[in-house]
């Protein structure tokens, strides 16, 4: 049966807004469920932030940015705080990994052995950068000293997706804090729990009140409010290309700096002279790691005709060996798809491939564990007839 928690998992789940180093209810009292995709069970009801809550968080972050306690902090001290936060992430690794797996559906092995250590590593990396943010001196004619000085922007809004909730939060939060900014983080509504835990750990590490705030909620209210807020100086977003375009347009009205990591379809190309065993192994890892819910997943493979059938057969064999099951089980290779909506999207792609003449060579079936959960077998489809553009069409 599916285990409810890994070893050392506490019963306390952080499910409210984190503003000014304390837990807050949403202004309107609204909540939303976050669901364990492996069981369909509601883990907890999370406070649903909106415009008023983003206003509160941005105000707290703005106040903290202007306060001498943070603005005047020696960069060596900022680095020490980031390093201490990394230590706390490692010390609470079991609980963080358990939350990540319950909220996202990925295997506990990946959460504990990959996501948590790499998150701690990100904070340590930027801890080392905090005192190495230099300007430049520029030689000019005359008796003048001409130099540049790098200064923090102010309040940075961070919006993260559901595939690597903790790790991608660290990619945005750690550099922003290392440079002396303050942060308001809006995690994906599917997976808000580890972001809230991270904020609590930051307070324990000693970050001043208001420096790091978390407002869970939906993109159309909390996310949109954060992007449009005049008190936010920059937005960092990872997610879909469609939403990225909206953010770029909206941020222009307040001249925010914008960093966008958007979607793509990452191809592998395999030629006949390749080490096919290594190529198949790499392609298998490239698409089935993290249930395929990876920004850089190798979701397309172009194979030279001379080795095509051999490669497809080997890849199909590898796919069939990807064990679907309880994400807490050490033997599981594919956990649960993050949500019912995402599962329907995946199955829609399978059906679209079939309708376009693709040959299903592995998987493509929705399944369950103990009769529940959002699971799909490892899938590979083969297209043997592609119309490539001519030189004139390129």
Alpha-carbon distance of 380 to 394, in angstroms, equals 28
Contacts of 186 (CB under 8 A, 6+ apart): 49, 54, 157, 158, 159, 160, 214, 215, 216, 217, 219, 222, 223, 226
Q: Is 67 helix (H, G, I), strand (E, B) or coil?
A: coil
Rounded to the nearest 10°, the torsion over CA 134, 149, 226, 345 is -40
Alpha-carbon distance of 307 to 286, in angstroms, equals 20
Residue 34: in which H helix or E strand, if any?
strand 31-35
Contacts of 234 (CB under 8 A, 6+ apart): 153, 154, 156, 157, 181, 256, 257, 258, 259
Among 45, 90, 261, 365, the one annotated catalytic: 261
Contacts of 326 (CB under 8 A, 6+ apart): 1, 2, 3, 38, 332, 369
Contacts of 265 (CB under 8 A, 6+ apart): 299, 300
- The answer to whether residue 158 is catalytic is no
Rounded to the nearest 10°, the torsion over CA 378, 382, 387, 390 is 70
Which of the 8 DSSP states describes residue 320?
Answer: H
Q: Using alpha carbons, select from 13, 31, 14, 34 the residue that is nearest to residue 22.
A: 14
- The answer to whether residue 351 is catalytic is no
Cα–chain-centroid distance for residue 260?
A: 13
Q: Using alpha carbons, select from 254, 245, 262 the residue that is nearest to residue 225.
A: 254
Among 204, 250, 295, 365, the one annotated catalytic: 295
Contact between residue 287 and residue 297 where contact means Cβ atoms under 8 Å apart: yes
Strand 42-47 versus strand 31-35 pairing type: antiparallel
Catalytic residues: 261, 295
């Amino acid at each position: 049966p599916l285990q409810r928690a890994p070893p050392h998992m506490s019963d306390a789940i952080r499910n409210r807004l984190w503003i000014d180093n304390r837990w807050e209810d949403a202004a309107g009292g609204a909540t939303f469920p976050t669901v364990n995709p492996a069981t369909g069970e509601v883990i907890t009801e999370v406070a649903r932030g909106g415009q008023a809550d983003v206003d509160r968080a941005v105000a707290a972050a703005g106040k903290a940015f202007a306060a001498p306690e943070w603005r005047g902090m020696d960069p060596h001290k900022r680095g020490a705080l980031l390093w201490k936060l990394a230590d706390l992430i490692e010390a609470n690794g079991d609980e963080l990994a358990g939350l990540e797996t319950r909220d996202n559906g990925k295997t506990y092995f990946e959460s504990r052995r990959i996501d948590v250590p790499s998150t701690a590593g990100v904070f340590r990396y930027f801890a080392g950068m905090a005192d190495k943010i230099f300007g430049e001196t520029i030689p000019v004619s005359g008796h003048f000293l001409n130099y540049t000085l790098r200064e923090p922007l102010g309040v940075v809004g961070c919006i993260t997706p559901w595939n690597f909730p903790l790790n991608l939060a660290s990619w945005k939060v750690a550099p922003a804090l290392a440079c002396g900014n303050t942060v308001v983080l809006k995690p994906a509504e599917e997976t808000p729990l580890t972001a809230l835990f991270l904020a609590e750990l930051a307070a324990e590490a000693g970050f001043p009140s208001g420096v790091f705030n978390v407002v869970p909620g939906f993109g159309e209210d909390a996310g949109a409010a954060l992007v449009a807020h005049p008190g936010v100086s920059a937005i960092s977003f990872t997610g879909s290309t469609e939403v990225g375009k909206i953010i770029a347009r909206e941020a222009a009205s307040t001249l925010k700096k914008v960093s966008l990591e958007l979607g793509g379809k990452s191809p592998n190309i395999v030629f006949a002279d390749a080490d096919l065993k290594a190529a198949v192994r790499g392609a298998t890892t490239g698409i089935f790691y993290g249930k395929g819910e990876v920004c850089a997943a190798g979701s397309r493979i172009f194979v030279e005709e001379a080795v095509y059938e051999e490669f497809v057969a080997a890849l199909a064999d590898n796919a069939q060996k990807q064990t679907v099951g309880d994400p807490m089980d050490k033997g599981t290779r594919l956990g649960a798809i993050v949500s019912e909506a995402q599962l329907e999207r995946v199955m829609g792609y399978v059906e679209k491939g079939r309708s376009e003449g693709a040959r299903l060579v592995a998987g493509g079936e929705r399944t369950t564990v103990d009769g529940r959960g959002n699971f799909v077998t490892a899938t590979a489809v083969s297209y043997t007839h592609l119309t490539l553009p001519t030189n004139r069409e390129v």
